Amino acid sequence: MDLHQLRCFDAVAEELHFGRAASRLHLTPSPVSRTVKELERELGTELFIRGYHSVELTSAGTALRPHVQSILAAVDALPSKIDPDAINSARVVRSGNIFRAPIGMVDDLEEVVASAAGGRPVQGAVGSSVELIDMVERGALDIAMVHLPHDRPGLESLVAALYTFQVAMRSDDELAAADEVELSDLAARTLIMGPDDPQPVAMGKLMADLAAAGVTTVHRVPDQDSARVAGHVRQMRGVTLTVQGRAGSWARGPYDHPGFAVRPIRGGRLVFELGLVWRRIEAERDPVVAELVVAARSRWPIPERY
């Protein structure tokens, strides 16, 4: 026995006509008649006396009807029994950030999420940019801090910070004698880089900028292990890119060793974007995501530089 059977029975009992009952239910008479017969078989008794031009309730049908009406009324009233505030309070606000996000940026994102959550429970995730972008795209996260740009048409983004790259090299490299390095100085050098995996679109943009400056000889290491990259720089007398080690940002790591030198690129011409992504449709229909976006735009009206 199911609700569909009870609704068909109630409609026929009200109309005393299978055709009119079917019209009320937006069905044709045959499935309504078949459903009522199934209910009668389950109950082991006839509920209607079917005449050529008339339908009447049997005594069993008459006795059953008030109970069916009570059940259907209780089911139809269920939505009104749910407290909207209880739904809102149970809504979990989900955010994510990349492994190497600056500590200060992570703290700021947590504050933004907490303020937009309005007391709702909050969950966080950590992963690579690609992993987090995938999670936002499929709705597993409301917002995430990732490397930009991205290529997902359903996502919107906000640039919150810019990493300014510097060049790391051996301390006996001729470029180490200068206070700053021209990007064109790298054109004849071997650039040691990790894989594109963490964010292929952002890395593709970076490599295109380097290629435009004449940097075309690139040696790839199989992972993002900075110690391995530094080892290749030492052995191959190549160069690599790093960011300024300042409080709250990526540390130089192995390049703090006296065997290496780190020099800025003149004019800060090479940058990497860090920002937030969210689903456009959710920002339009979900007040929580809309509030997250408003809070994020207020916190980062202008990208910070690292």
CATH number of 61's domain: 1.10.10.10
Per-residue model confidence as pLDDT tens digits over 181-221 = 998 899 989 999 988 776 888 888 888 989 988 999 999 99
DSSP string, 131-146: HHHHHHHTTS-SEEEE
Same domain flag for 155 and 279: yes
Do residues 32 and 108 both lie within one domain?
A: no
Quick one: which of 206, 164, 167, 204 has its CA closest to 185?
A: 167
Q: Which helix (H) or strand (E) holds 155?
A: strand 155-170
pLDDT for res 88: 53
Q: What domain count does the chain have? A: 3
Are 290 and 152 members of one domain? yes
Residue 248 and residue 191 share a domain: yes
pLDDT reading at 167 higher than 90: yes
- Judge if 133 and 213 occupy the same domain: no
The domain of 226 spans 161-272
Q: What is the mean pLDDT of the chain?
A: 88
Tokens encoding 294? 């408003």
Give the model's pLDDT for residue 35: 93
pLDDT tens across 285-303, in order?
999 999 999 999 999 999 9
C-alpha–C-alpha distance, residues 156 and 296, integer Å: 12
* Bond from prior residue into 195 cis (ω within 30 degrees of 0): no
Query: Considering the entire predicted model, what is its pTM?
Result: 0.65
Of 81, 106, 125, the domain-final residue: 81
